Amino acid sequence: MKSYKIALVKGDGIGPEIIDEAVKVLDAVASCCKLDFSYTEALMGGCAYDITGDPLPEETITVSLNSDAVLFGAIGGTKWDNLPREKRPESGLLRFRKELGVYANLRPAIVYDELINASSLKPTVIKGVNLMVVRELIGGIYFGEPKGRTEDKGWNTMVYTRDEIVRIAHQAFKIAMTRSKRVCSIDKANVLDVSQLWREVVTEVSKGYPEVKLSHMYVDNAAMQLIRDPKQFDVMLTGNIFGDILSDEASMLCGSIGLLPSASIGDKIGVYEPIHGSAPDIAGQGIANPIATISSASMMLRYAFGEIAAANRIDAAIKRALSEGYRTQDLAQFDAKEVCSTSEMGSIIANYIQR
């Protein structure tokens, strides 16, 4: 029996609810696949600030680095909006990513046939969409120096080094080798010097992957093409701010942000989380969709532990639950046979795994 240590960072809002359902599913797959998971909870976000005065306590970093992977819910809420920037939950998350060195954010966008009508786009446009956004996560304009503001002026600096671009490009090409062997690198090289370097370095790295077809696209065109013809993309490689925007756009191809997982990986450890926020307006009501978090647990099994069969088992159970008409509130209008609570959806998926 293989054993893995998982740090649970539940966070704020709906975070605890959706993490609990992912743990339920992990325990189900553990019993079927002869795996053993041990969990250690750690604080981050507004809940951490309320208890410790710091949105990212040092203990959370220690617990995470001493684990095999981190399963993370969501942080933030209006309760903490008026705190100084360095005390806000979002600042804790940025520091967390930097401290753990998770530089590659993987965001798949897969359209389920069972939810083909959930998207605002025509079924003929989105049927069969299966793409992966590979976003550089700890560089670029969110971390660049100098930055600052006065009463009448604010400034941020987009900076990338060659080494930062090389390592994220390798991640994209390696992932493409397991998929359809196509990488589209997204930049703004017609305007930005930093994007000119990005394009040059990505092209250099591509020479080590002769089987992968590389193309380049400006970010404004990519935003349009993602809606016009999303099936043209396999792996989309891009920087921090462009990836932040494009991956949220890609989520709407699928009809609900509550469906989409993500993985943030580095050389030390990976953090696995849904792409949605903490949704404090529905916290505690039992109506949050846990599928994105359960899918994130599947990505953890796949990318952190190499437990492909277990990951496939979770993915198949999610697909079966959707195909049989089980829906949470956000998807209730789309061919629902039964509208489920957060906990009920987790239990349905867990039961399918055990069968």
H helices of 66-141, where? 89-100, 123-126
Report how far Cα 131 is from the mean position of its chain's Cα atoms.
13
Q: Is 142 among the catalytic positions?
A: yes
Q: How far apart are CA 326 and CA 328, in angstroms?
A: 7
User: Measured between alpha carbons, how far is residue 148 from residues 105, 143, 153, 157 in Å?
Assistant: 26, 12, 8, 10
H helices of the chain, where? 15-33, 46-52, 58-65, 89-100, 123-126, 162-177, 193-206, 219-228, 240-251, 291-299, 308-323, 342-354
Q: Is 220 among the catalytic positions?
A: yes
Q: Is 248 among the catalytic positions?
A: yes
| Active-site entry in 160, 244, 326, 352 | 244
| Active-site entry in 39, 68, 87, 142 | 142
Structure tokens, 6: 């998982």
Q: How far apart are CA 276 and CA 257, in angstroms?
A: 6
| Active-site entry in 220, 229, 267, 281 | 220
| Active-site entry in 68, 248, 315, 335 | 248
| DSSP string covering 180-243 | TSEEEEEE-TTT-HHHHHHHHHHHHHHTT-TTSEEEEEEHHHHHHHHHH-GGG-SEEEE-HHHH
Whether the Cβ atoms of residue 133 and residue 354 lie closer than 8 Å to each other: no
Q: How far apart are CA 128 and CA 233, in angstroms?
A: 11
| Active-site entry in 188, 272, 330, 352 | 188
Give catalytic residues, as residue numbers: 142, 188, 220, 244, 248
